[in-house]
Structures are given as C-alpha cells and as structure tokens.
Amino acid sequence: MTSNSATDQRLMPGQRVSDWGRMKYANVANIARPQTEDDLRAILAHAKEHDLKISVRGIGHNTVGQSIVDNGIMIDMMAMNQIIELNEQAKTLRVQAGATWAQLTPLLEQKRLSLSTKQEFNIFSVGGSLAANIHGKSIDYAALITHVKSFRILTADGEIIEASREHNYALFRAAIGGWGLLGIVVDVTFQLIDDRIVEKSEVVYMKREPLLDAYRERIQRDPAATPLCYGFLDTSFDNGYYLTYRYLESGETYSLDELKRDETHPLVVDILVWLQRRCAFVRRKAFNLTWATSGNPDKTLLSRRLLLWDKPPKAFNDLLLQKYYLPLDRFQGFLGKAQTIFQRYEKDIKLMMLHFRFQPANNEAMLASLQQEAMCFFPVYLAEKDDANWVAVYEKVSHELVEEVLAHGGSFYLTFVPATLDQVRRAFPHWNDFVETKRRYDPEERFTSLFYENLRAG
C-alpha cells in the first residue's frame, strides 16, 4: 500500500479500544474503515506484509473481546453497508455486512417482508448478527443460520469466496457464529419471510414454579399460531409472568402507522435504571411496575415486536446481560441454583431484570448454542463496567453460573459470558472441529481477537 492510496487513508492510527462490555481493552495498531472489496484486500495485504493480526468489528456489541486484539488491525465494517438486491418475488435479500437493522427494517416493512429473527435493537449490523448467529426471541423460528442462503467471505489467502449449503459447507457452518475468526464476511444473502401482524393475547402471573410449568404447556399448545411467548421473574426468583402474542388472522388490513408497538419511552427507562442503581427499594419494586404495564394492548408487525426501541435508552450502555440455555425439564432445578448464587453475591451484584423464553433448537452451526430445544435464562445486570473490583466479582458469578448450567446439561451464549476453554469445550461439542476448520482457511491465524487468544491460551 502506497502512502497516497485511498486505502491508506482508511487505515487510521490505533488507540486503546474496548467493546460494549468495557471489561476487555486492547491497544490496536490501526483502525481500518474499508468502503470497498479492494480496500479489504489491501488491508489484508498490509497486515500480512507487517505481520499484524486482524480483528473484525460491527458495532462491538460483545463483552469478552471478540472484536479487538492487541497490536493488530481492527477492521470497522460499518461503511460497507449497501443493500445490493431485494428480490420480492423470491423473497431474498443480499446486503453488505455493515448494514444495520435500522436500514433494513423500514425497507422490508414497506414490502411486508422480514428476516426470521433479529437482535432486539436496530443499531446492530448484519455482519455482527451473523458472527453471533443470533436467535432473537421468536419461538417459531430458530437461529439466524436457518435463513442464511449464502455469504461471501474474504479468507486469509486474499480470495473472496462463496459459502453456502452447496459450496464450502464447513466454512458456512464455522463462520456463522464464528466471531470473525474465519475471515471477513463481505455480504450475505438471506431468505425472507412474510411479515405478519401479531397481537398480544394473554398475560399470566403466578409463583415461579407453577408459572414455568404453565409456560411450558403454553408454548407446546398451538405453536404455529404463537410466534412470541416470553416472560420475566422478579429478582428474588419468587414470582413472574409471561406474555403471549398470536398471529392476527382476521383478514383485516392495517397501515404501518396503525401498527406501532407498545413500548415504554426510553427516557422513562433511563430514569428507572438510574433510580434502581441508587435505591434497593426501587429495585425490589421495579418488577411490579413492569407487571402493572404488561397488559397494555399491542398490535403490531412481527418484525417490529422482535425489536425493542428503535433507539435504545442511554442506560443500555451501562447494563450487561447474559444468556444461558437449559433443557426444558431441567430449567426449574437450575433456577434454584442460580438463585443461591445471586443471593451469595447480592451486596456486589445488582440485578435489574430476569427474563426467560423458549428457544427452538438448531445445531447446524459448529458453535451452535442450542443443541436441543431449551429455555433461555437471561439476567440483566446493573453493571459497573469500569470498576475492576466489580468486574472480578462478575466473573466469579459468571463462572459459577456456567458450572451450574453445564451440570444441568445446558450451554451459554458466547457473546456475553466469560468462560474458560474447558467450559467452552464442554458446552460446545464441536469446538475442536471449529478450530480445525479455522486453521484450514487461516493457517497463520491472521484473524483473531482477545476472545480467541484467551481461549487458545487455555
């Protein structure tokens, strides 16, 4: 790369960077912001010439260093965000990896089309969603991989190749959910679904154990008509409720303006989070407030209900969340253990919310979180991200939760959970296959991250 090349202008000086978790930091040598495929090839060539590692980043919504590495090039993909082709007849969408749900959602809504699943905020990138193999909260569609037709990826040898179920299938299975460790995804082709209208149909409140029994029965009853059914527990694990949405089959038509989802204003959320941080009484009563407003009517598009706010509350940046997956028949037993763990650390770890939902199985990806149908346990923490003492306690809590999850035959979402190599191998039975596939396509391990380096070190 010559000093006056366009790519040089996109290869900026490095700095100390973190991700959404603000618990892992790296001093990167350069930050690259490519706009074309030629830029990507040139950046890779520069990395090889100077023996630099590469990490790949969307918006960096992870907590254990998946998008950063010391003394490497951090490639920020957000400028490669073009919508390449929308085929309404075939219901397919091809889009560059830096595009966000904020770009795609309004475009697809006009056509009454949607992705089968998406992350809960519009800010996330397609490439990041693919790297995490997101699963969303729909109970009638499994992880994102199920509706990926193909993608093109720049591999370590400098070639851009296609990966699909027909071509380079091992790469397809490894790169989806593979955290940018196989190469740089350039663009993705999705199979779309019809965007149907959903309506809140019931809210059920009970003590924890009968509630979860009732929830399990509910998700197994008439699943084809029930796209959403998810719930919340109070932070003492005593009481909870779940909400159910059904597809609206009345045949009525509605304009998009009539289908706005019911959502608490972000400013109200910011205030409530601020109060919960400072007052134990408010933390104890916050669940009652969410329950009191849970019965509000809500009729909207499925694609909109899969999301929360179009613009997240500011408080979102100072929260942490995790996702743990348990077999349906072992979820109750695990919750008792989790309750004990959180009680042990209650002076240091403040919980804002406990969420649960059913997750359909899909084990196609090598690092699939869900080898079987599961219940997802979703604690949300009032984090103190920049406090080393708090982070140390958080990591202890996480370690103990992971051990209980594994003891109950479950797994966890790599995006947010700090775990040891031994824990990862126990939760992800194809970890060694993943590493072997990575080395086949990236023998010098050019693509890496703090996340991978820490696991590789054991």
Using alpha carbons, select from 136, 126, 25 the residue that is nearest to residue 78.
126
pLDDT score for 2: 40
pLDDT score for 9: 53
- Is residue 126, in this structure, part of any structural domain at all? no
- Is residue 108, in this structure, part of any structural domain at all? no
- Is residue 290, in this structure, part of any structural domain at all? yes
Is residue 294 within 8 A of residue 203, CB to CB? The reply is: yes
Q: What is the CATH number of the domain that holds 334?
A: 3.30.70.2520
pLDDT score for 11: 84
- Is residue 330, in this structure, part of any structural domain at all? yes
pLDDT (tens digit per residue) in 275-288: 999 999 999 899 99
Domains held by the chain: number = 1
- Is residue 58, in this structure, part of any structural domain at all? no
pLDDT score for 6: 47
- Is residue 57, in this structure, part of any structural domain at all? no
Please list the ranges in the chain whose pLDDT falls under 50. Answer: 1-4, 6
Beta strand 30-32 with 11-13 is: antiparallel
Six-digit token string for 59? 């918006």
pLDDT score for 64: 93
- Is residue 180, in this structure, part of any structural domain at all? no
Q: Which domain holds residue 261?
A: 197-419
- Is residue 227, in this structure, part of any structural domain at all? yes
